[in-house]
Structure 1
Amino acid sequence: MNASLASSSSYGFSPHSRTFTSPRSTSADAVADEHSSRAYILPRRTRGDWVALGVMLLVACAIFFINLTASRYANEFYSTAAQAGSVSWKAFLWGSLDSGNAITVDKPPAALWLMALSVRIFGLSSFAILLPEALMGVATTYLLYATVRRYWGNWAGIVTGFIFMLTPVAALMFRFNNPDALLVLLMTGATHALLRSLEYVNHPSGNRKRTWWMVLAGALIGFGFPAKQLQVLLVLPGFALAFLLASPTGMVRRILDTLAAIGSMIVAAGWWVLLTVIVPASDRPYIGWLPAQFLP
């Protein structure tokens, strides 16, 4: 594994003891460095690594961008909502199907926000509608590469990136304007944040950084709800099991970090739902995706 574990003699961390050991150096700078050190040291990229990364990203751009407009407006239901959001900020906020704000589409509006902003910038066209999807495809490919590279090396990341973007369903997903593109990007980002949280040693400095990575992971999962509702929660059991088993801290700290992630997830997922409840029905469109019994 190219991303090697830091030795206890250099960084005060042992992957077997899961504890921080006092550094031998008396230098304040050395102590601070050891306190903030990570369990994994990322290897430097060689020139060949950079070339391989560039080729991978160029291929990803080719897959997701060439002949992007072949499906024209793709899902015209969502394209219509994106057009409405491009001319009305109220329709933008609610994900309305029309600029008159009569009713929303059948999904929360997060994915529509990206398309509507693109249409506002570039004007209404098939390319403007699908541009955010293709960009998210390239971003997801790179994020997946970066996640795998940290622990298994550059070439494992390159191979993973190619496998991902050459998978037919991925090539289709990021060339179409359903909410799945944003959902997959957010879930991949949450996976990256979760794994980053496990890199820090069991020390107050490392613990604080670990907590913030968990908060980020929770926020990304939470924002997946305004993208495609409860589908984003499918990864939660695996996330919880991985963190509770692999975190280098004691059980109390693991539970606290998990609660912090859950709190950020609730905030990221719940603010828009709360908005639909507290805003009077006369001031917003009918929420087409929320069950009627939840609406005032």
Structure 2
Amino acid sequence: MTERTIGIVGGAGWMGRAIARSMLEAGFVEPSGLVLSSRSHNTQGLAGWPGITCLTDNHELTARSDVIILSVRPVQFSAVDIDAAGKLVISVMAGVPVATLAARTGATRIVRAMPNAAAEIGKSYTPWFASEGADPADKELVRQLFETCGTTDEVFREADIDYLTGLTGSGPAFPALLADAMLGHALERGLPAKVAKRAVEAVVAGANQLLADNNASPEETVRTFLEYRGTTAAGLQGMIDGGFVEAVRAGLDAAEAAAVGMSQGQ
């Protein structure tokens, strides 16, 4: 448990609430050590911890907090007015670089992190990058904090956060696209909607668990099925021949470009 008071700017948003709930459920912070600010007082999902302080004034949040998590939409950041000099600032905003965070908050101890929607169920993968001003104690706090939401890794180039914003910050979106395509195909074949939905969910959810538990790499798994030369091999080869790999690469390139574009536009 940390003894530092943690403030979340945008604490009523879905990501701010998810991080707050994960920290509380893990016992990482006491309710009395958590301060949330937002334009509303919507703390739905946190009602079980009545000791949380809820504010609308970011200056008051900053004064009360040792650690400040910025959890607002990037386009809203220009309207956030805080002086966080001497504080540890953790941004979970996509595309806002360390230099901009420092200029607008006055902080030198800064971490950019990219959790995803799975933080709501404690399954997020959260990469993070620390500025030169962040000390070892800051980094350890960040590691422990995001481990309450799932798994985490420190990366050592800021550009890697922009790339991972597209790769892992997508959360369920990319698997959902695959599932949607499979579901549409199954419905076209006349399967009842309930059966088609359950079948597709079993494929996507089951594959997720199998990949997590299996020692084989994704490449080895694909190769094994291709070499078996059964129906799955035929399906895989059809997807590959149809440009599946190229489409995925194009999507990741586009997501990274969007993150970099957001960064340059700050």
**Structure 2-normalised TM-score?**
0.29
**Structure 1-normalised TM-score?**
0.27
Taking CA–CA contacts closer than 8 Å with sequence separation of 6 or more, which of the two structures ends up with the larger relative contact order?
1
Higher strand share: 2
Higher helix share: 1
